Structure 1
């Protein structure tokens, strides 16, 4: 019992120490989708009942910290681990492009079924069903990382909600080429240049595997306590 109480106290203390950020949902972007997502983000957290679902440990990059994408690139270079991965991917001919998923049906299915376990959990059955077409909400964009032959090796779906954007899905084949580092870094750079959004979210830190937490840290994501509003 003392150990459990100590752990609980440490968790509460860690939450209390998180910097607070205010994230806004704008209905004008897509009323139905934005309102639905707002309700999901602000429902009660399944474990921390006093907090909202996506408020505790929200993994965010503060895009406003960087005057330009070059400044962000310099930060990555200073972090030798992620800089090495990004350089490796570029050297092997990978590129990041905005995609229509309907043009990569087979590649996406191959990516989705390339492994059975991710982050220590079995893949959701939805990934194992091959879709014949994809529909994207008007406030979403999808980016892909392609190899030198134009084959899709990974993709990331980004939703735009207001003063922030959020990854809806990030997935790729498992190799050691640094493709996911390159893709996420490139998306961040493009959002910095757009000067339209203040933050990019990549879900939360709590519940993420050590490997995924390390990946987020490499790319500049930090944990916050998010407070949401809608207008």
Structure 2
């Protein structure tokens, strides 16, 4: 548990965050949207007085990036997200929307390519080969492919209302910038489509410094999320 000084600092940080109103819409996929809403709004496992994903939600307000070019301008600079995405693109990597069931072997190879990520052991379920992936109307999957057309990284993205949220991001550890390309091109596609207000990548709290830096490099900022259900 945090001590008093840490708690006061945390409260000040929380109160300074901008507020985002995230709306869950059950018509998109009733059972999944409802279960996700309940998960996002349950009590935080460590800070019991706040919601699970209500404070420090890692969001991009897509209305502040009216075009894909504007978003890339926002994350440009040496060692920023656009820089690494461009490096990956120059190496021949490209993004495609995929059906995970067509890439069962390739996804398993990525999941088991390293024993640890972000300094933590891989969850056991990633070590087991999943032979079939459920297809939900409000979920999409994207893959980054190499110049040889081999899957190098993938992400699943759920749409829940006026926001879309990443649920999985996984790739080979090759320092080619593939994860930056994966996230930035998906965000760019969301901007092009104009269907959601926010892109979400979990929260800043609980993430290790390296993952926090990765989110910041790609334009995500900490918000206080207020959820509603329709």
Cα RMSD for the two superposed structures: 1.2
Give the structure-1-normalised TM-score.
0.96
Partner residue of 2:159? 160
Report Cα offsets for 1:133-184 as digits up to 9, x if no partner: 2112110000000001111010000000000000010111101100000010
Map of 1:118-133 to 2, 5 A cutoff?
A: 118-133=117-132
In the alignment, the residues of structure 2 paired with residue 48 and residue 76 of structure 1 have an alpha-carbon distance, to the nearest angstrom, of 31
Alignment match, 1:145: 144
**Paired residues of 1:60 and 1:222 also in contact (CA < 8 A):** yes
Partner of 2:74: 75
Contact 2:81 2:184 (C-alpha < 8 Å) held by counterparts: no
CA–CA distance in structure 1, aligned partners of residues 48 and 78 of structure 2 = 37
Q: After superposition, what is the alpha-carbon deviation per residue over 1:93-141, rounded to whole angstroms, capped at 9, x for unaligned?
A: 0000001111111110010001111122111111000111211211000
The ranges of structure 1 where at least 4 consecutive aligned residues each deviate by more than 6 angstroms after the TM superposition are none
Corresponding residue for 2:58? Answer: 59
The 8 Å contact of residues 59 and 220 in structure 2, kept in 1 or not, is answered as yes
Q: Please, which runs of 5 or more residues in structure 2 have no aligned partner?
A: none
Q: Distance in 1 between matches of 2:3 and 2:115?
A: 34
- How many residues align structurally? 229
Aligned residue number for residue 49 of structure 1: 48
State the alpha-carbon separation in 1 of the partners of residues 200 and 191 from structure 2. Answer: 13
Offset at 1:16? Answer: 1.4
33-42 or 112-121: which moved more?
Answer: 112-121
Aligned match of 1:102: 101
Counterpart-to-counterpart distance in 2, 1:21 and 1:76: 21
Q: Counterpart of 1:8?
A: 7
- Deviation by residue 1:58-105 (Cα, 9 ceiling, x = unmatched): 000111111211111222334553232112101110000001111111
- Any unmatched runs of 5+ in structure 1? none
Q: Corresponding residue for 2:115?
A: 116
TM value normalised by structure 2: 0.96
In 2, Cα distance between the equivalents of 1:81 and 1:66?
17
Which position in structure 2 is the counterpart of 1:21?
20
Q: Distance in 1 between matches of 2:48 and 2:81?
A: 36
1:79, 1:218 within 8 Å by CA — same for their partners in 2? no
Q: Please say if residues 61 and 201 of structure 1, whose CA atoms lie closer than 8 Å, have aligned partners that are also in contact.
A: yes
